[in-house]
Structure 1
Amino acid sequence: MHISTDAGVFDAIAAGPPGGRPVLLLHGFPQTGRAWRRQLEALAAHGYRAVAPDQRGYSPGARPRRPADYRIDALVDDAVAITEELGWTTFDLVGHDWGGAVAWWTAHTHPGRVRTLTVVSTPHPGALSSALRTDQDQRERSQYMISWRETPATEEHMLADDARELRGLYAGRVPQDSAETYVRRLSEPGALTAALNWYRAGRPDARIGAVDVPTLYVWSTQDSAFGPAAARETGAWVNGPYRFEILQGVSHWVPEEAPETLSGLLLEHLRGHGEQRTAANSPWPTSPKR
């Protein structure tokens, strides 16, 4: 399906009955909405209406050129605009990798719209910022971000030799057909530069606080990008009901490497928090617990 907004036209995959409880799933780098296909199937089977868009830069119809066009506020605006175009006043939000960062910010800035939050791999930005200041392990894990942000030839290296470096990122953890789909999309003119512009856009202008919505955070022990320090601190940045799940022996690519486990956790979380809640009637405090 295609979703038209003021920012452009987003490609998306949808599953489930149109009248089902709405769930928006946001992918990360270097993937597309296809990363959620197993979760889409599970959600649809339980009557949810699930939509996974190809985010800004990944959709050909929403691919601005400037790094500044990929700042977090624009990415959050995209997520909200997509739900408005779909006619969703409230929705459940799921994100992985960069999609997880967008999900944290969306839940923080639009708590009245987000019914529940599920984030996979990506710690709360406040927890990650703290870990980058105090934890050598996390600083080492995050070096790739600096390299991708500051090296102009990153795109050439990733796409050279039939995209060998890009393919290597999936490291056998992602189904081959999906990996090929991602490589084809990111080999389109300007696509990989657009995806890397998420890293090059710079720090957000505002600081993020704690989120107040019911939150499920799933982290895996073999995640090469996010270490245990930020993962453990994430709960201090959630004021509402919070569940932290650790997947042993699973890499960063959780939605595709452990689809059944993740789908089960997601469905449990949604069933456990079925009532609509707005910021105005929240019974929880609004300052981060630290």
Structure 2
Amino acid sequence: MLLLHGFPESWYSWRHQLVALAEAGFHAVAPNQRGYPGTGGPAAVEDYTILHLVGDAVALIEALGESTATVVGHDWGAPVAWHTALLRPDVVRGVAALSVPYSKRSPTPTLTGLRSRFGDNFYQLYFQQPGVAEAGFEADLDRAFRRSLVGLSGDSPHIRPLVVPEGGGFADIWPAPEKLPSWLTEQDIGAYVREYAGTSLTGPLNWYRNIDRNWALTAAWETAKITPPALMLAGDRDPVISWFDPVRLEASMRSVISDLRGFRLLPGAGHWVQQERPEEINAALVDFAGATS
């Protein structure tokens, strides 16, 4: 089972799943993806397209001596998982995505639609500015992780639109939390801070800087469906999910995924669903992987 993390995370986001999946008899692997700490990612922005990221996933499966895998992705890892299933169904036994659904290709470039809907300060547009988001995040890693991990969770008192305040940075979307929720410890924040210490965020942010390039590169698959068995899990208090009507979202996904075996929103959970609700996610992944092995 290949577990693909999101932004701004690392393999550590899968700490609960690695143990549970191993105990269930699966070989689970959670790499740091291209450009993330310790990977020595390439410098060129255009080397972070969805085609490169899918290529990395397929190459890792092969390097581990396997011909197929169940591919699981969270946040940015979800589009990588979805597209691995789309582009290379021959190596995907099943695909599970957390927090980010698969949707039809938009008729206009992705960032154009996001700007129209959310404005110029939407976080994905803010991330397009070379060096700006890096500086804000790297200036205080503890502050950035503390605010974003709590702010995007189900424990945040309000589901905030992901719009960067004028003159602020990504972490300024959320206030400083008064205390940590039960699922997040000081040790967890410290683990992320240590992993990113002395590492530029340019590699991870380059994923966002290829959003419109990905839209163009995937045009040939506009009418193609994802054919491997699939599972979608998310928190119902996830700001990403709040963009959609759940009933319409499930129907839309079923129109482009041939075998969607589950669509579940966990009540009260936020964006970091596998960290917030590990037991429920572990059980769902074990069942899904067992049924598709």
TM range (shorter): 0.7 to 0.9
| Distance across 2 between alignment mates of 1:96 and 1:107 | 15
AA aligned opposite 1:206: T
Q: Contact 1:127–1:234 at 8 Å: present in 2 too? A: no
Q: Contact 1:94–1:103 at 8 Å: present in 2 too? A: yes
Sort the Cα spacing of 1:220 and 1:54 in 2 relative to 1 into closer, same or farther, 3 A: same
Aligned-partner SS, 1:149: coil
Equivalent residue for 1:182, pick from 188, 192, 211:
192
Aligned-partner SS, 1:212: coil
| Distance across 2 between alignment mates of 1:91 and 1:206 | 23
Q: Contact 1:58–1:185 at 8 Å: present in 2 too? A: no
Sort the Cα spacing of 1:206 and 1:53 in 2 relative to 1 into closer, same or farther, 3 A: same
Match of 2:147 in 1: 168
AA aligned opposite 1:159: E
Sort the Cα spacing of 1:161 and 1:108 in 2 relative to 1 into closer, same or farther, 3 A: closer
Aligned-partner SS, 1:93: strand
| Distance across 2 between alignment mates of 1:263 and 1:143 | 32
| Distance across 1 between alignment mates of 2:91 and 2:99 | 23
TM-score normalised by the chain length of structure 2:
0.77
| Distance across 2 between alignment mates of 1:92 and 1:162 | 33
Q: Contact 1:116–1:270 at 8 Å: present in 2 too? A: yes
1:222 aligns with 2:237: yes
Q: Contact 2:145–2:189 at 8 Å: present in 1 too? A: no
Higher RCO (CA-CA < 8 Å; seq separation 6+): 2
Show structure 1 runs of 4+ deviating over 6 A: 127-130
Q: Contact 1:101–1:125 at 8 Å: present in 2 too? A: no
1:267 aligns with 2:286: yes
TM-score normalised by the chain length of structure 1:
0.78
AA aligned opposite 1:156: A
| Distance across 1 between alignment mates of 2:141 and 2:48 | 27
Match of 1:245 in 2: 264
Sort the Cα spacing of 1:165 and 1:85 in 2 relative to 1 into closer, same or farther, 3 A: same
Match of 1:19 in 2: none
Equivalent residue for 2:65, pick from 84, 87, 99:
87
Q: Contact 2:142–2:189 at 8 Å: present in 1 too? A: no
Report how far residue 65 of structure 1 moved: 1.5
- Which blocks of at least 5 consecutive residues in structure 2 are unaligned? 151-179
Report how far residue 262 of structure 1 moved: 0.5
Identity percentage over the alignment?
34
AA aligned opposite 2:51: D
Report how far residue 241 of structure 1 moved: 4.2
Q: Contact 2:33–2:39 at 8 Å: present in 1 too? A: no
Count of residues in correspondence between the two structures: 250
Worse overlay, 107-116 or 63-72: 63-72
Sort the Cα spacing of 1:161 and 1:271 in 2 relative to 1 into closer, same or farther, 3 A: closer
Report how far residue 268 of structure 1 moved: 1.4
Q: Contact 1:100–1:122 at 8 Å: present in 2 too? A: yes
Query: Which protein is richer in strand relative to its size?
Result: 1
Worse overlay, 91-100 or 217-226: 217-226
